[in-house]
Amino acid sequence: MSTLNAPRARTSRSCENCRAVKRRCDKQVPRCGQCIRTRETCLGYRDEWDLVFRDQTSHTIKRSRNKSEKNGVSTAGIPLTPPTRGPDPSLNEIGVNYFLQEFAAGGCSPSRGYLNYIPTAYSADVEHPTLVASMAAVGLVALATHQPELVHHARAKYSEAINRVNNALASPVESVKDSTLMSVISLGVFEHVSNFESWVRHVKGAAALVVARGKSQFARRRAILMFNQVRADMSAACIQSIQPFPDDMRELQEEATKYTDPSDAFWLLGVLATQCATLFASITAKHKGIPLPRDLTWLHFLEVSIALQDDFQYVLDILARQEPYVTIHESCGSAEFISYNGQYHLYQTSWAIRLWNNSRMVEIIVCEIVCWLINKVLAENPAYPAEGRMKLKLRLQYTAQIMSRRGEEILASVPQGLGLVLLPDTHMPQQPNVSGGYMLIWNLYTVGKSPVISCHNRQWVIKQLKDISRSAGIAMASQLAEDLVQLERKVN
């Protein structure tokens, strides 16, 4: 019997502690409830990728490549990993495999991909045609950056996936399935490759689907992971389009809190991001003259913003203990992919890169809000007490220093984020990975438009965005790079 078709023993998804003592694990995230009850340090769960997928034999890979090349599609360089239902993968399977390799397994990144919840949802409904079509579409469009002949197939698969999603949404049964939400999230990557407006519409659609699923969805671990993704995308979309975080999503966040570890930095930083989005939208509305309650003065908004800034510092201190990283200083500093000052960071996982950078990005935006409000309050209140004025000026200097430091940290994450430098004892990739580009573009853009960035560093950011657009085929990266080019011209 083929090893691919041989029955396998059921693999435990319990945390390490529960597996060791053979007790029932509730599989809560980020830490098992049994460990919390017994005051043990939860050692976490096995990587879902390792539980779900297996490497193909070299014989199967060889036969797959020969078959595809005869059909006019080269598979050179394509990581043909399972699932396959036979020795000769179709374009559908190649697309799914590449999607899982780049976005779930992390490609050349050190560990799991930053969309690490995907295998959990995928393994629960592996044959669902809507989910397969969605991941295949994204995988093929990502591959098309290196093999242009796949563009047509990617667009055809995208159209199929959209039709299947629409049919699923019309069904009361299918619309609330995890596989449907996972399909919508997957297609969001395709929209991100296209343009900002399409992506925002797609994120809003995903959020509406999460709301329709209701509060009962959080009883399943994978639902929490998918909600986190939609919440992060929604926060980013709201901040970039200056809209408040939706009330119905905020209510779901409050419900989901019951199923999470309240001391987990990841969850706390997500909450702060939603608060930032709503605060930014309220301040913008007041600036435009839109009527707001009388107690929402500029001084009130400044106090709220400073409190939010301090909350970020508190949670980032927790994150530093939960997800530590190291700084590497490059002696020669000649490699173009190393950041401007010849140093870069090494994280244990690509998930950690995403978590750190998204936190830094939102904190930079909070800092920009604080700086704007301080200048606004000082300008409109010439009789402001001298002692208070001095405190605000000191806060202004402190805030500018934070913005500069967070920007430098984001730039130092780029080499590993793109897979160009790796942890020790791993093989150096030949080119940047697609998921890294997808993960980094908003981080880079936020740094590039920061008021404290130097001209030299902005040029470095513009180059990275253009390179990501060219190597990963992400059109939005090119749009954001051009926006920074226009900003640079105005500044100079």
Could you tell me the domains of the chain? 14-46 (4.10.240)
Contact call for residues 98 and 433 (beta carbons, < 8 A): no
pTM of the model: 0.75
Residue % of the chain over a pLDDT of 90? 35
List, in sequence order, every residue forming a beta bridge with 344; answer none if it has no partner: 328
Q: Is residue 74 predicted with pLDDT exceeding 80?
A: no
pLDDT of residue 152: 87
* String of DSSP letters for 227-257: HHHHHHHHHHHHHHHT-PPPHHHHHHHHHHG
Model pLDDT for residues 225-237, shown as the tens digit of each residue: 889 889 999 999 9
Which residue has tokens 């990975």? 433
Average pLDDT in the 313-329 region? 92
Distance of CA 295 to the CA centre of its chain: 36
Q: Is residue 208 predicted with pLDDT exceeding 50?
A: yes
- Phi-psi bin for 338: left (phi > 0), alpha (psi -120 to 50), beta? beta
What is the Cα–Cα distance from 14 to 12, expressed in whole angstroms?
5
What is the Cα–Cα distance from 181 to 210, expressed in whole angstroms?
7
pLDDT of residue 490: 85
Amino acid at 267: W
Q: Is residue 424 predicted with pLDDT exceeding 90?
A: no
- The DSSP output letter for 328 is E
Average pLDDT in the 38-44 region? 69
What is the Cα–Cα distance from 356 to 347, expressed in whole angstroms?
10
What is the Cα–Cα distance from 181 to 82, expressed in whole angstroms?
22
> Hey, is 164 helix, strand or coil?
helix
- The DSSP output letter for 101 is I
Q: Is residue 167 predicted with pLDDT exceeding 60?
A: yes
